[in-house]
């Protein structure tokens, strides 16, 4: 069953088509990630789904409700962390949770929510003294006060150090285990690949790829590569002496491997070249590679935004 359904959603600001006819759905209990560079239309899409912004066209349903027409009813069933979450400087997480509980008119177990977001140790610390990761977990705690069925997380780890990001990831994994639906926007590709069941890549208001991370990599990825740390001269030699596709960037020679035997061909050629090299490895494309390739193609006119 789908918790979120988006059908040809449109939103424009003057001549700018911020959201240009996108469609997708998010299943109950699923982590779904919207990926894209700044200005891709992710936040506008999420704000429409949250009932904070009116759409220009298309249809949207969250928990079978129209977010704009039924916003008051919907807000009791969803949790939200906006971009750049902020709170009162001299309020502690415990106080904030109680405050939100009063706003929603619900009774909550404050300590259980703090434990849920791994924030027990900082429950009595003022907001302005929390670390970046603790502040985001505080935001997560507030989004769970009303026991939501759907949680919207808009760039929840932006600006955090790696340790803090992983702490927030652990909370998101816990939300999935609790069968909550999570819509996550991010421009960290590793984050989406690790956390999301399915992803959609947005650029210039359109969805340019969607599916599970594995499906996108299979369809849009370039397969295995042999990467060698060496000078441009080795790349030139391999291009001249083999039929392999060879790229060079920032001191790395990348040889595309379409078949296992290509690795043998490449290694023999490297050995015969007599050119010095420093290290080598094989690697598969990541979502990051696909993302950069697809967004770059759009920016350069390889994909049309019409």
Per-residue pLDDT, 158? 83
Q: What is the pLDDT of residues 100-150, one digit of tens each?
A: 999 999 999 999 999 999 999 999 999 999 998 999 999 999 999 999 999
**pLDDT given for residue 67 in this prediction:** 97
Secondary structure (DSSP) of 181-250? EEEEEES-HHHHHHH-SEEEEEETTEEEEEE-HHHHHHHH---EEEEEEE-HHHHHHHHHH-SS-EEEET
* Dist CA 286 CA 216 (whole Å): 10
Distance of alpha carbon 97 from alpha carbon 264, whole angstroms: 60
Q: State how many domains the chain has.
A: 2
CATH number for the domain including 200? 3.40.50.300
Model pLDDT for residues 228-251, shown as the tens digit of each residue = 999 999 999 999 999 999 999 999
Q: What is the CATH number of the domain that holds 257?
A: 3.30.70.100
Q: Which of 218, 251, 267 is the last residue of a domain?
A: 218
- Whether residue 206 is found in the same domain as residue 242: no
278 and 194 within one domain: no
Q: Residue 292 falls within a domain, yes or no?
A: no
What domain range is 253 assigned to?
222-284
**How far apart are alpha carbons 39 and 203 in whole angstroms?**
8
Residues 107 and 150 placed together within one structural domain of the fold? yes
Q: Are residues 97 and 151 in the same domain?
A: yes
Q: Do 141 and 262 have their domain in common? A: no
pLDDT of residue 300: 43
In a domain, 195, yes or no: yes
Is residue 301 situated within a structural domain? Answer: no
Based on the domain organization, do 51 and 68 belong to the same domain?
yes
Q: Judge whether 66 lies within some domain.
A: yes
The model carries a pTM of 0.80
- pLDDT less than 70: residues of the chain: 296-306
Q: Which pLDDT belongs to residue 212?
A: 93
pLDDT for 123: 96
* Domain contains 296: no
Question: Could you tell me if residue 299 is inside a domain?
Answer: no
pLDDT of residue 297: 55
Final residue of a domain: which of 171, 199, 218? Answer: 218
């Amino acid at each position: 069953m789908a918790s979120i359904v988006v059908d040809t959603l449109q939103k424009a600001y003057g001549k700018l088509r911020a959201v240009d006819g996108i469609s997708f759905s998010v299943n109950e209990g699923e982590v779904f990630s919207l990926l894209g560079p700044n200005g891709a239309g992710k936040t506008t899409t999420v704000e429409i789904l949250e009932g904070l912004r009116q759409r220009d066209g298309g249809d949207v349903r969250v928990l079978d409700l129209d977010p704009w027409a039924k916003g008051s009813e919907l807000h009791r069933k969803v949790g939200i962390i906006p971009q750049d979450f902020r709170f009162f400087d001299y309020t502690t997480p415990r106080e904030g949770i109680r405050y939100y509980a009063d706003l929603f008119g619900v009774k909550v177990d404050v300590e259980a929510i703090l434990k849920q977001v791994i924030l027990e140790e900082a429950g009595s610390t003022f907001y302005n003294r929390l670390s970046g990761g603790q502040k985001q977990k505080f935001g997560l705690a507030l989004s769970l006060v009303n026991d939501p069925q759907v949680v919207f997380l808009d760039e929840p780890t932006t600006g955090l150090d790696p340790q803090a990001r992983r702490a927030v990831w652990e909370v998101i994994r816990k939300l999935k285990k609790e069968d909550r639906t999570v819509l996550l926007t991010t421009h960290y590709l590793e984050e989406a690949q690790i956390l999301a069941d399915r992803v959609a890549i947005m650029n210039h208001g359109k969805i340019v790829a969607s599916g599970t991370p594995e499906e996108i990599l299979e369809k849009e990825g370039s397969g295995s590569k042999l990467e060698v740390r060496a000078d441009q001269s080795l790349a030139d030699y391999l291009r001249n002496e083999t039929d392999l596709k060879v790229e060079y960037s920032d001191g790395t020679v990348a040889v595309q491997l379409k078949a296992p035997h290509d690795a043998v061909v490449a290694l023999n050629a490297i050995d015969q070249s007599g050119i010095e090299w420093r290290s080598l490895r094989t690697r598969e494309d990541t979502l990051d590679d696909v993302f950069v390739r697809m967004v770059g193609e759009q920016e350069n006119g390889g994909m049309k935004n019409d």
